[in-house]
A and B are shown apart, each in its own frame.
Chain A
Amino acid sequence: MGISRRNFFKILTAAGASAATATASAHAWQSRAPSDPYGCLVDLTRCIGCRKCEQACNEVNHLPPPERSFEDLTLLDKKRRPDEKQFTVVNRYYSGMIDERDQLIPTFVKLQCMHCQDPACASACIVGALTKKDNGAVHYDVTKCIGCRYCMVACPFEIPAYEYHDPITPRVMKCTFCYERVAQEGKRPGCAEICPVEAITFGKRSTLLKVAKERLKKNPGRYLSHIYGEHEVGGTCWLYLSAQPFEKLGFNKLPSKPMPQVAETVQHALFSYLWSPIVLFGMLSGIMWSSRGKGERDDSHKGGAQ
């Protein structure tokens, strides 16, 4: 018993010491966010809930025809989430504000992938099927995907959906930021192009932040002074302005620390250059070498000990 206990302690101390040094010397986590991505600014005070963006999205991305027409606004009576058949949905919220005719003023909220600057899904993806592109899009490459759905576990916005009813070749489905349209055809995303009230502004993220801040400055009473997406999870390419508190509109409060930071810091501290398995292998070989034959001698009096 003595030997093994001593050995256990030896191992623990050695492992602990080396882990401590490695953690201290490991490089600090660095963001891999693109420096000048595109984005969209959604002004919730402008949105009229016409669902034109949903329709445009459906057409541009060749999604299956909807069960109910895009003109049917009664769909707004229920809260919906983006899913494998619709990359974007608009929900209606009543905050209790009323207009001059005592009618409740609705706030419409368009939901889609936020295209995070440091996306959790891309960090999580086992095969790198999800990647952050320089133009801002979080892009999905179905040819690499194995369908583990770790991206869906990781996403703080619960966006990636899955074709659960396809038995052999299901895909992860989410807003593409109209990647090809933007990158190759130089067009705006389908939703941003069609919006009749310019609730969605497409442009460089840095420009959009300036525009947003200007709107805040020029209309002090109209907006809350919070640009959702500026700092949330380290920044997202989709940004929101609102008159109502975001928590009341289905947005969750998120830390400003990028989602992958803790996981990647721990992972790289433990395994960069495979230092820990190599050290452990060496240590165990040493122990095995030094303890060879010992056990045999030990056995005689071992059996009785409890």
Chain B
Amino acid sequence: MSHHAAPVNRKFWTPGVVVLGFLAAAGLAVVVARYIGGIGYVSNLTTARPWGLWIGVDVASGVALAAGGFTTAFLAHVLGRHYYEPVIRPALLTAMLGYTFVVLGLLVDIGRSWAIWKPMLHWNPNSVLFEVAMCVMFYLNVLYVEFIPIVAERFKGRVNLPGAFSVLNRALDGLLHLADRILDKIMWVFVIAGVVLSCMHQSSLGSLMLIAPTKLHPLWYTPILPLLFLTSAIAVGYPMVVFEATLATTSLKLDSEMKILAPLTRFTIFLLGIYLALKVGDMVIRGTYVYLLDGTTQTNAFLIEIIFGVLVPWLMLLFPKLRQSRRWLFTACTMVVGGVLLNRLNVFVVGYRPPISEAHYFPSMGEILTTVGLIAGLMLLYRFIITYLPVLNKPEQEVTA
């Protein structure tokens, strides 16, 4: 398989990029307000509803949707399916940026942002959150290390800093050469560590809610919540790659990469099938189907999640015809991505019902703007990096589908 990644040869400032810039700036303004007036000033969070949109989307969904990173690394590097290597770099970049923004989102959400390092010093091994935090921290570093070769490939022998910094050129170049050489030998450790760390914290994110049996709606509260989180994260990995590749190749008018994406989603049939079976089986065994028709917000959210987020796209992927159609494949994968997003939102926000105060929660404009701003910021950075670093595939002489 001969593939070659290259910087995208397009001008950076397009109208879309400008819009993203405005959204990111709006989010940034809210963040500034948060550090002046406090979390209460910009959010609707209360004693009874301490976690809201920021944890549900920025953190939990952010982590889940970055699963393309470790699932593609597993496929191409661990299982040795090098055919799929072209999707590794974009998936890695998404994961790296995804986790970076998870941490940025956390900094906004936690009350004492400056104390975020404290879990390294004060351990509570009973705390699920402690394990999640440690894994996310290590994994973020693993992702940065995995990304170094891409930087090295671009700048090796070409380090050319302007003005006074030019004295550093030679040293930096040497460093890049060295890092590249060493990493080439030991990268397998980081690849496997990335998969292991991902499996750990993807599942533990689900364990987070096990501490609150009286608060989480029974449709979601199950002892196998960690297993459901893990399987859904694994299942959403490839659909997320398709989603993102389709968006990127469409907006940048690159090759559609359908000959990689279509076979990639055959794994999704199997993986999403496991998730669906577990979810339905869990519902049947615990008898929670009795809630299904009671018409509450929670029940409806659950039905939408499982029907349009899992069942329908799974059925769609079963048909080879649909898998090979770029539009249908994108539709199915978008539904899977939306389904996992909704699941995380359901577990952390919609399904969370404080039984005493019965407090309601709807995210404030400030919370929504922060989340939108973070996502826009992520997309901007993605766009910036693919413009200057070899991440996406160089267009071949091929007619796009």
Residues of A bordering B, CB below 8 Å: 1, 3-5, 7-8, 81, 83-84, 120, 123-129, 144-150, 152-154, 156-158, 160-170, 250, 252, 254-255, 259-260, 262-264, 266-267, 270-271, 276-277, 280-281, 284-285, 287-288, 291-296, 298-299, 302-303, 305-306
Contacts and interface: CB of A to CB of B under 8 A. Distances in A.
Given A165-B37, A166-B38, A287-B79, 9 more contacts: A120-B211, A124-B128, A126-B130, A127-B123, A145-B112, A158-B356, A263-B211, A270-B226, A281-B192
Contact of B78 (A264, A276, A284, A303): A284
Interface string B188-225: 10011101110110011001111111110000000100
B295 interface: no
B389 interface: no
A81 to B, nearest CB: 6
A161 B359 CA distance: 14
B133 to A, nearest CB: 6
B128 A164 contact: no
A39 B210 CA distance: 27
B180 interface: no
B188 A148 contact: no
Contacts of B266: 1, 306
A61 B213 CA distance: 32
Nearest to B131: A271
A34 to B, nearest CB: 16
A288 B214 contact: no
A150 B127 contact: yes
Interface in B100-136: 109-116, 118-119, 121-124, 126-131, 133
B11 interface: no
B279 interface: no
B323 A306 contact: yes
B260 to A, nearest CB: 9
A144 B122 contact: yes
8 contacts: A8-B270, A150-B127, A153-B208, A153-B209, A266-B210, A295-B79, A298-B81, A303-B259
Contacts, number: 228
B215 A262 contact: no
B119 A153 contact: no
Interface of B: 1, 34-41, 43, 45-48, 50-51, 74-83, 109-116, 118-119, 121-124, 126-131, 133, 188, 191-193, 195-197, 199-200, 203-204, 207-215, 223, 226, 259, 262-263, 266-267, 270, 320, 323-324, 352, 354-357
Nearest to B200: A277
A295 B80 contact: yes
Of B43, B50, B83, B128, most buried by chain A (CB within 10 Å of CB) is: B50
B38 A167 contact: yes
Nearest to B134: A126
B355 A277 contact: no
Nearest to B271: A8
A170 B50 contact: no
